[in-house]
Chain A
Amino acid sequence: MALLLQRLFDGLFNSAIYASLAISLVFIYRATGLLNFAQGEMATFSAYVGFLLLRPTEVILAGSGLIGILPGLPWPVPLAIVGAVLFGMAAGAGTERLLIRPLEGRPLLSVVNVSIGLLITINALSTELWTTSPRSFPSPFPSANGDFFAVGDARLRFESIGVWITLLVVLGLLGLFLHRSKAGLAFRAITANRESAQLVGVNVGRTLLIGWAVAAGLGALAASLVADAVLLEPNMMIRLLIYSFAAATIGGLDSPGGAVVGALIVGLTQTLVPGYVPFIGTEISLLPPLVAMLIVLLVKPTGLFGSRRVERV
C-alpha cells in the first residue's frame, strides 16, 4: 500500500514535468501544425544558461566577461530559473523568426528537417560547451532528505508539491494570456483559422513569434525544474521529449487540457507499470507510453480531447 502510494507520488511529479513540456508542444502544434522536435533540446540549453547564472565558476564559459555584465552572480536559484526562462523565450522567438517563418509554404519535410537539425545542433552544442558530465541543478523548493509530508509510509516531497503549484500557476497565467489579452485573442484566432485571421488584420508573424517564445519559456521552466531530479546533462531531455509527445498525443495534440490529462496517464503508468510487470523494468519504462501513443495514433488519431479535422482532397 505504501509502495503504491509512493509510486503514485513519484508519478505525479513526473507528470507535472511532462505536462509542461507537452503543453509547450501543443501550443506550437495548434498554431502551426508543426511538432517541434527541438523543444526538449532548446529547454536543456536554457537550463544550462540558468546553471551558468547559478554556478558561474563551474562551467567553461566562466570568466569570459559574463560575470562583469550581469550583476551579483551567482544568482539565487529562483532568479536563475527566471533567467533561464527569459533566455528560452528569446531563443524561441529567434528560432521562429530566423528558421521557421522563412519556411512558410514549404513542404512538411523541410520543417521536419529544420527541427531535427536544430535538435542535433543544440544537443551537440551543449555537449561541446558543457561536456557530458552530469551537473546538479538545485531545486528552488526545499528538497533535502527530510523535506516531505509522511502519508502513511509514503513520502510526499515538498519538491513535488512545489512543482505542481508552479505548473498550476503557469497554466492559470497561460489561460489569462489566451483569454484576456489581445495577443492571446490573436493567437486563438490563428489557431481557429489562419487565413481568416490574417484577413481581419491579425499580425500572424508577430503572434506566432509570441507563441514560440511562450512555448520555449515553458520548456525552459520544465527543464530547470526537472534538472534537480534527473541531473543536468545534454541528453537529459531526449527521453523526456518522447514522454511528453506521448502525453500530448494521448490527450489530443491540439488540446492543452488534454496534454495535462495525457501527462498524468503517462507519468502514472511510467511509475506504476514497471512496478507490477517484471519484464518492463525501469530501463524501458519508455515502452508503455510509446505503445500507448502508437495505439492512440492508430485508433483515434485525434487523441482523447482533440478536435477532429476534416480533410478535403
Chain B
Amino acid sequence: MRRPPTALLVALAGLIVLPMVTDPIQLRRYAGLIVLSLGVLGVVVATGHAGLISLGHGVFVGLGAFSMATFLDDFSLPFLVALPMSFLFTSMVGWLLGLPALRIKGIYLALVTLGMAIIFPALSKQFPNQTGGVSGRAVDARFDPPPWTGLSADQSVLWRYGFCILVCGLMFWMTNNVLKGRMGRAMQAVRDDETSAAGFGIHLPRVKAGAFGLSAGLAGVSGALQVILFPFVSHEQFTVFLSFRLYAAALLGGVATMIGAIYGVLALVLIPAVNNGLNLLENDVLVFGIGLILLTFVSPDGIAGLLSRATGSDNTKSFWRNVKGRYSG
C-alpha cells in the first residue's frame, strides 16, 4: 500500500489535536476557516484541473450560506437535507455561470469572475427575504448533538466541529475520485489543449460547465457548513477579499494537485492564527498577496511543488511544464 502523503497526515493530526488545545470559541473560529478548505478545493478543481481561472469563488461560498439559511428557516428542512440541497443549488448556479466560460477564455474569465465577486455583496442585499439585506440574517435552526452522543448542549461546538470535518473529508474523498477518474482526465485534457481534447472526442461544454459546477458546489458546501457553525449570514462575509483569499490559498498550496489543496488549507488556517497570536498586522490578507507574488517566482506549483522538489519525490508531475502557455486562448 502506498504511504499516505505527509501533508495529509499533518493535517489529520492537527484536526485531532485542535479541539484539545482550544476553547470552544477558538475552536469555532478555526472550524470556520477549516470549512473554507472546500472553497480552496473548488478553486483547485476549476483553475488547477480544468484551467478555468476563477477569482470569484467567494460568491459560491456566499450562495451556499444564503441558500442553507433559506432551506433551514424558510422551508424548515432538516440539516441533513438542507446541506445536500445547498450543494445542488450552488452547483446548478455554478453550472449556469460556467456556460459563458465556454466562450470566454483565459484572462477574460478571470475578469468576469472578478466582476462577479465585486458585485455579489451589493447584489445579495437586493434579496432581503433570503439574505437579510443590509443587516444580515440570523438563522434559527441549531445543529445540536443528538442524545445518543452523550454530549451536553454546551459541547455542541465539538459536535458541529466533528460533523464539519466529516463532511469536508467526504467531499475531499469524492473530489479525489472524480479527478482521478474519466471526468478528471477529461478536464486536464481540456486544460492542456482544448482543440486536441475535442479531437479525442471530449465534449468540451459538458466538461467545462461540469467542472465549474462541481467546483462551485464544493465552495457552496463550505458556505453551508459555516451556517452550521455560526447561525448568522450577512453580505459582509462574502466580499471580494474572501474570493482573493481562497484563490491565493489554492495557488499558495499548489493548484494542480489535491495535496496542494491541503497545503492551501494549512496556509488559510495558520496565517491568521500566527498573525493573531503575534498581533502583527491589521489584516493578514497582505501575507496572501505577498506570498502569491513570491511563489509565482520561486515555485509556481506552490508549497506542494516546493516540498516535493526538496524531498526529491517529484509527485506533483510538474504541471507547469505541461501547460506552457495553455491558459491563453
B290 touches A121 (CB 8 A): yes
Using A108-B325, A113-B293, A290-B119 as known contacts, say yes or no to A127 and B108 having CB atoms under 8 A apart: no
B328 touches A124 (CB 8 A): no
Which of A99, A105, A107, A242 is packed against the most chain B CB atoms within 10 Å?
Answer: A107
Q: Enumerate A218-256 residues with CB–CB distance to B below 8 Å.
A: 238-239, 242, 245-246, 249
Q: Does A275 contact B (CB under 8 A)?
A: no
Report the minimal beta-carbon distance from A286 to chain B, rounded to whole angstroms: 5
Number of interface residues of B (CB under 8 A): 50
Q: Does A293 contact B (CB under 8 A)?
A: yes
Stretch from A140-148, A191-199, A294-302 contacting the other chain: A294-302
Could you say which of B115, B116, B122, B255 contacts A245, with CB atoms under 8 Å apart?
B115
In the bound complex, residues from chain B placing their C-beta under 8 Å from that of A114 are 292-293, 296
- Which residue of chain A is the closest to B288 with respect to CB atoms? A120
Q: Does A61 contact B (CB under 8 A)?
A: no
In the bound complex, residues from chain A placing their C-beta under 8 Å from that of B285 are 120, 123-124
In the bound complex, residues from chain A placing their C-beta under 8 Å from that of B118 are 238-239, 242, 286
B112 touches A293 (CB 8 A): yes
Q: Does B111 contact A (CB under 8 A)?
A: yes
Q: Does A273 contact B (CB under 8 A)?
A: no
Q: Does B229 contact A (CB under 8 A)?
A: no
Using A114-B296, A127-B282, A298-B103 as known contacts, say yes or no to A119 and B289 having CB atoms under 8 A apart: yes
Q: Enumerate B223-274 residues with CB–CB distance to A below 8 Å.
A: 240-241, 244, 247-248, 251, 255
Could you say which of B103, B119, B251 contacts A297, with CB atoms under 8 Å apart?
B103
A287 touches B286 (CB 8 A): no
Q: Does B55 contact A (CB under 8 A)?
A: yes
B296 touches A113 (CB 8 A): yes
Interface string of A106-136 (1 = CB under 8 A from B): 1111101110111111111101100000000
CA of A125 to CA of B282, assembled, Å: 10
CA of A242 to CA of B195, assembled, Å: 31
Interface string of B300-319 (1 = CB under 8 A from A): 10000000000000000000
Q: Enumerate B111-166 residues with CB–CB distance to A below 8 Å.
A: 111-112, 114-116, 118-119, 122-123, 125-126
B100 touches A297 (CB 8 A): yes
Q: Does B29 contact A (CB under 8 A)?
A: no
CA of A118 to CA of B47, assembled, Å: 19
Could you say which of B126, B195, B244 contacts A120, with CB atoms under 8 Å apart?
B244
Using A124-B283, A125-B286, A297-B108 as known contacts, say yes or no to A116 and B327 having CB atoms under 8 A apart: no
- Which residue of chain A is the closest to B326 with respect to CB atoms? A107
Could you say which of B112, B126, B240 contacts A284, with CB atoms under 8 Å apart?
B126
Q: Does A103 contact B (CB under 8 A)?
A: yes
Using A35-B111, A108-B325, A287-B123 as known contacts, say yes or no to A297 and B293 having CB atoms under 8 A apart: no
Report the minimal beta-carbon distance from B154 to chain A, rounded to whole angstroms: 36
Which of A113, A120, A122 is packed against the most chain B CB atoms within 10 Å?
Answer: A120
Q: Does A152 contact B (CB under 8 A)?
A: no
Q: Does B84 contact A (CB under 8 A)?
A: no
Report the minimal beta-carbon distance from A108 to chain B, rounded to whole angstroms: 4
Which of B106, B119, B241, B290 is packed against the most chain A CB atoms within 10 Å?
Answer: B119
How would you classify the secondary structure of chain A's contact residues: helix, strand, loop or mixed?
Answer: helix
Q: Does A313 contact B (CB under 8 A)?
A: yes
Report the minimal beta-carbon distance from A129 to chain B, rounded to whole angstroms: 10
Could you say which of A118, A239, A283, A294 contacts B289, with CB atoms under 8 Å apart?
A118
Q: Does B197 contact A (CB under 8 A)?
A: no
Q: Does B178 contact A (CB under 8 A)?
A: no
A107 touches B108 (CB 8 A): no
CA of A100 to CA of B118, assembled, Å: 25
Which of B55, B110, B115, B286 is packed against the most chain A CB atoms within 10 Å?
Answer: B115
CA of A157 to CA of B55, assembled, Å: 38
Using A128-B282, A287-B119 as known contacts, say yes or no to A120 and B111 having CB atoms under 8 A apart: no
A124 touches B289 (CB 8 A): yes
B286 touches A124 (CB 8 A): yes
Q: Does A161 contact B (CB under 8 A)?
A: no
Q: Does A34 contact B (CB under 8 A)?
A: yes
In the bound complex, residues from chain A placing their C-beta under 8 Å from that of B255 are 109
- Which residue of chain A is the closest to B287 with respect to CB atoms? A124
B123 touches A284 (CB 8 A): yes
Report the minimal beta-carbon distance from A270 to chain B, rounded to whole angstroms: 13
In the bound complex, residues from chain B placing their C-beta under 8 Å from that of A113 are 251, 292-293, 296
In the bound complex, residues from chain A placing their C-beta under 8 Å from that of B247 are 116
Could you say which of B114, B116, B119, B293 contacts A117, with CB atoms under 8 Å apart?
B293
A108 touches B289 (CB 8 A): no
Q: Does A72 contact B (CB under 8 A)?
A: no
Q: Which residues of B contact A (CB under 8 A)?
A: 47, 53, 55, 100, 103-104, 106-108, 110-112, 114-116, 118-119, 122-123, 125-126, 195, 240-241, 244, 247-248, 251, 255, 281-283, 285-286, 288-293, 296-297, 300, 320, 323-328
Q: Which residues of A contact B (CB under 8 A)?
A: 33-35, 37, 99, 102-103, 105-110, 112-114, 116-125, 127-128, 238-239, 242, 245-246, 249, 279, 281, 283-284, 286-287, 290, 293-294, 297-298, 301, 313
Nearest first, the 8 A-B pairs at minimum CB distance are: A120-B289, A121-B289, A117-B292, A124-B286, A117-B293, A108-B327, A113-B296, A286-B119
Apart from A110-B300, A286-B119, what 8 extra A-B contacts exist at CB < 8 Å?
A107-B327, A108-B327, A119-B244, A120-B244, A120-B288, A128-B281, A290-B116, A297-B112
19 A-B contacts (beta carbon < 8 Å) = A35-B107, A37-B110, A102-B297, A105-B325, A110-B300, A112-B110, A116-B244, A116-B248, A118-B293, A119-B244, A120-B248, A120-B289, A120-B292, A122-B289, A123-B289, A124-B289, A284-B122, A286-B115, A298-B103
